[in-house]
Amino acid sequence: MKLPEDGMPAPHIRTETLQRIAIVTDAWLPQMNGVVRTLTTTCDILRKQGHELLVISPDQFASVPCPTYPEIRLAIGRPGAVSRKLRAFAPDAIHIATEGPLGMAARRFCARTDTRFTTAYHTQFPEYIARRTHLPARWFWRYIEWFHAPARRVLVATESIRKELREHGLGKLHHWTRGVDLACFDPLAQRPAEYASLPRPIQLYVGRVAVEKNIEAFLEAKHPGSKVVVGDGPSLEKLRQKYPETHFLGRKSGRELAGCYAGADVFVFPSRTDTFGLVMIEALACGTPVAAFPVAGPRDIVTDDVGALSEDLDRAIDAALYCDRRACAEYGAGFSWEAATEQFLAGLAALDGELLPA
C-alpha cells in the first residue's frame, strides 16, 4: 500500500459516502481573505456534491474586535454553545479550520468526548502575531504545537509549510492545495480604465492592506513603471499618504478583479507570512507573471517559467517581466478547486458511523 505524507496510513475514509461534515472557523464572511475564500469555495463544492454541512462561524455569535486587527471579529459564545451545535448535528467528520476562540471551543469538545478531528494551518500565525505585537514568534509557536498536536490530520497547502510544521513536532500532515475559479480568472478579462494612462510596466499588488503583508517592501521597490494596489485594510490610509505616487484602487472582486490582474505586467507578492497565496495563482491564470521573495508560498508555487524569486524585489520584478504570459495562464489553469476539494475530503478523519457521546 502507498503511504501518504509522513509515512502514516490515512484514516479509513469513504469519501463517496461521507455526508455530514462540520467545519468550525473563526474566519468567515463578511471578512474577505484567502482563508475565507478557500473555505467558502470548498463548502460550495461540497454542497454541490451532496454533502451536508454545518459551518460554525463568528456571524452566529456575539463578537468583539480582535486586538490590533479590529476588522476581524472574535466570537464570544455562551459556554457549551459550540458543543451543543456539534452534538445536535452529529457529524461524520469535524474539521477545525482556525486556531481562534471557536476553534478552541471545538477542540475542547473533541478532547472531552474523545472525538476525532482534523485541523488546517492556513496562516503563518506565529510570524503574523509577532509582526503585530513585536513579541518573539517562538512564543506563539508553542500554542500552534499544542493546538494541532491531537488532530488526526493537519491539512497544509505546500511542502515548505509541511517541512516547517515537521520541525515543530507536527507529523500527521496531509496535502490540501488551492484552486482558481477559471470561469472568472483568465487573460481575456477587461482591463480597468485606470490602466490606460499609466506608464508601463504596471506592477500590481492584490490583497489585504495590512502590516503583515509587507506591502511597503513593494512600494519601496525602485523598478520604473507604475505601482497599483488593489485591496482594503487597516494600513490603507497610512500608505496612501506615504506613497502618493502609488495608485490605490480599493477592493475589487469577480471579473473586475480579473481585469486588474490581466492588465498588469507583473504581479508582486511581498508577503513573508502567507502559507500559500491564492492571489498568485489567480494572477497566473490571468497570464500575469509573479515576482516575490523566496519564502514559503512563492517558493512552492512560482517556477522560472512563470515568475521570479529574489531577496532583491527589484531583480525579481525585472526577471518576471521576461516570462511568457501564455505559459503563465496555462500554469495557473492547472489549479482546480474540484481537485483541492477532493484532497480536503481525503484528509478528513471520518467517524465511521460512531455516535457523538451524549
Over the stretch 10-58, which tens digit does the pLDDT of each residue have? 444 445 566 899 999 999 988 888 899 999 999 999 999 999 999 999 9
| pLDDT value of position 1 | 27
User: Which CATH code, of 3.40.50.2000, 2.40.50.460, 3.30.572.10, 1.10.3720.10, is assigned to 5-179+338-347?
Assistant: 3.40.50.2000
**How do residues 151-196 score in pLDDT, each as one tens digit?**
999 999 999 999 999 999 999 999 999 999 999 999 999 999 999 9
At 79, the pLDDT band (50, 70, 90 cuts) reads confident
What value does the CA radius of gyration of the chain take, rounded to a whole number of Å? Answer: 21
Q: Is 80 exceeded by the pLDDT of residue 9?
A: no
- For residues 153 and 172, is the Cβ–Cβ distance under 8 A? yes
Domain ranges of the chain: 5-179+338-347, 193-335
pLDDT at 17: 63
Report pLDDT digits (tens) over 202-223. 999 999 999 889 999 999 999 9
pLDDT tens digits along 245-294:
999 999 999 999 999 999 999 999 999 988 899 999 999 999 999 999 99
Q: Which residues of 205-236 are buried (b: 16+ CB within 10 A; e: fewer)?
A: bbbbbbbbbbbeebbebebebbbbbbbbbebb
The CATH class given to the 193-335 domain equals alpha beta
- The answer to whether 5-179+338-347 and 193-335 have equal CATH topology is yes
